[in-house]
Chains A and B, each alone.
Chain A
């Protein structure tokens, strides 16, 4: 392991949503329940797990789009608070899943990308503003003549580029990418994935890359964290996780990935967990995976397993594996 200081250092992050269950009662929905990880400058951490396990909430809570219920977030060594968030916010951006709904269709590309420049007063005159916008467009592979056109005139892949150019306008050092290619056609996904990789090489941006397509996550990530019902159950180097998953949930998740190769797909031994994902409002006690886990023992119901290091940088939260 290199000893570069982490840019992003998240400790025991919690986000509970109060849910009204009727008769004036509320229950906490523990969407994120004690999540810790680090990301180094220029590093990509992939975040995977099933729908509703809390991936988006982790991203939104880090950026204070939700007020954190608990935990600490150090950005480049500095504890992020409500007070200093506005000034740090420039260095952290988010790219959303849906390039259709996250852009105002009545704004031109120039104005969409220019907005954060205006907000943060990042130019001294019209000419510099325009220059910056054009250079951002070039960075993400958009033509200069697109500047005066409206967002709705563009294809999905192009809109995703516009969204990214906008996120880059403030020179962020960290970008949360929430399912940035899921809404795109397969033939377009590779363009956008390559662009993320180019930006990382050129600008040294660090990413938290949330996606459900494990092949894409494996491709782009240095390390991958697997979440289940609000907690990280395993975190490891991308290749290590792929070759040697240890947590029973990671094992079944990886075994369920449909591989686009008929011979491999037909001979693949799937280890699919029984049953459905429990509701996060009524999470099982102890290890949340125990209701679907073939290795569960009494201890799994009584205690919640913490992440422990199994080999260099490979952490797993399980009593029995």
Chain B
């Protein structure tokens, strides 16, 4: 059995805006085991990035965690002092973003930035840091590392920059790597190179990965565990097999039905009806209710609790409650 390295319990995160309080994350719970990969999928605006940023406490000024616990190896990091938090961000948990240009400084060379990260987070001297920087570039498959160290971010291709970002994130040898849509801006063959690289490094270094993406294909190939988000809540979580082969929430089912597969070329796609939700105007009951074909009366009024579907597989849908009640009834009869 592996150890739980991260345990997120009932996380709530809100933003204060002119239009009102935006409750971006409303009671998210999940855990991550050492060395494993967790995927976070869901609709645009469902709170995937905010969940990730809450863990690292890198929310914008108008945002804050209003409730819940984030346990890292058993310690609640929400109780950390600023110094402890810096330590956590630098050494224990790193993040890479979709657009590497936003996190690389255009005015410094790659070598400058990479060495700074190494000097900051490990106790190497300058010469050792330079060696380590070259090593890191080799590790992430950047050719001619000596020359690259002298180049500026804009001189590199998108795939190359994303490799550099991974190298920076790994410089501190973190326990957890959070990747927020790390390949969305890249071409498929370059994406495949980067994902393969992340998997290789994970095996080598043994870090855990949280992969945030809207791409079910990426998740299927990368992740052991998956959480599916809708409207700021986790609507379903379980192993990759649970989610793909036995989805138990109507949104997950709809999502999987709507993507084309090679074998269904001559069939019409089955879309999810309606439009994505508006967080400022959340319905009283299940957030997915207005788009759900199988909705019950109760779905309109009450938020469904998370139900155990099978060991390790949870979903929040009234249909499961009803089904379980019926089965219990039959068993009694």
A interface residues, Cβ below 8 angstroms from B: 50-51, 155, 157-158, 185-191, 193-194, 197, 212, 214-216, 218-219, 238-239, 242, 252-253, 255-262, 264-266, 268, 270, 272-273, 275-277
Contact = CB atoms under 8 A, between A and B. Distances in A.
15 contacts: A50-B187, A186-B259, A187-B272, A188-B271, A188-B275, A190-B269, A194-B269, A194-B271, A219-B269, A256-B188, A257-B217, A258-B192, A259-B220, A264-B220, A276-B190
B275 A158 contact: yes
Contact of B276 (A187, A212, A253, A266): A187
B192 A272 contact: yes
A105 B228 CA distance: 33
B131 interface: no
A232 to B, nearest CB: 17
Contact of A187 (B196, B244, B271): B271
A190 B270 contact: yes
B217 A260 contact: yes
B171 to A, nearest CB: 23
Nearest to A219: B260
Given A50-B187, A50-B189, A258-B192, 14 more contacts: A185-B276, A186-B214, A186-B255, A187-B276, A188-B272, A212-B187, A212-B188, A214-B188, A258-B221, A262-B221, A266-B221, A270-B192, A276-B160, A277-B157
B258 interface: yes
Contact of B261 (A158, A215, A255, A266): A215
B191 interface: yes
A105 to B, nearest CB: 18
B187 A260 contact: no
B305 interface: no
Contact of B259 (A194, A238, A260): A260
Nearest to B187: A50
A100 to B, nearest CB: 13
A157 to B, nearest CB: 7
A262 B189 contact: no
B272 to A, nearest CB: 4
B193 interface: yes
Interface string B226-266: 00000000000000110011000000001110111110110
B63 interface: no
Contact of B43 (A157, A185, A214, A268): A185
Interface string B140-173: 0001000000000000011110000000000000
B215 interface: yes
B245 to A, nearest CB: 8
B191 to A, nearest CB: 7
B43 A252 contact: no
Contacts of B241: 262
Nearest to A292: B189
B271 A50 contact: no
B44 interface: yes
A190 B204 CA distance: 39
Given A193-B260, A194-B271, A272 B189 contact: yes
A42 to B, nearest CB: 16
A215 B261 CA distance: 6
Interface string B271-295: 1100110000000000000000000
B218 interface: yes
For the complex of A and B, 3 pairs with smallest distance between CB atoms = A258-B217, A265-B221, A190-B271
A186 B189 CA distance: 21
A191 B255 CA distance: 12
A190 B272 contact: yes
B193 A272 contact: yes
Contacts of A155: 275-276
Contacts of A50: 187-190
Contacts of B191: 256, 258
Which of A186, A266, A270 has the most chain B CB atoms closer than 10 A to its own CB? A186
Contacts of B245: 262
B220 A262 contact: yes
A268 B221 contact: yes
A22 to B, nearest CB: 15
B326 to A, nearest CB: 29
Given A185-B43, A277-B157, A265 B217 contact: yes
B268 interface: yes
B271 A262 contact: no
Which of A197, A256, A264, A270 has the most chain B CB atoms closer than 10 A to its own CB? A256
B260 A215 contact: yes
A261 B258 contact: no
Contact of A252 (B189, B215, B255, B256): B189
B216 interface: yes
Interface string B174-216: 0000000000000111111101100000000000000000111
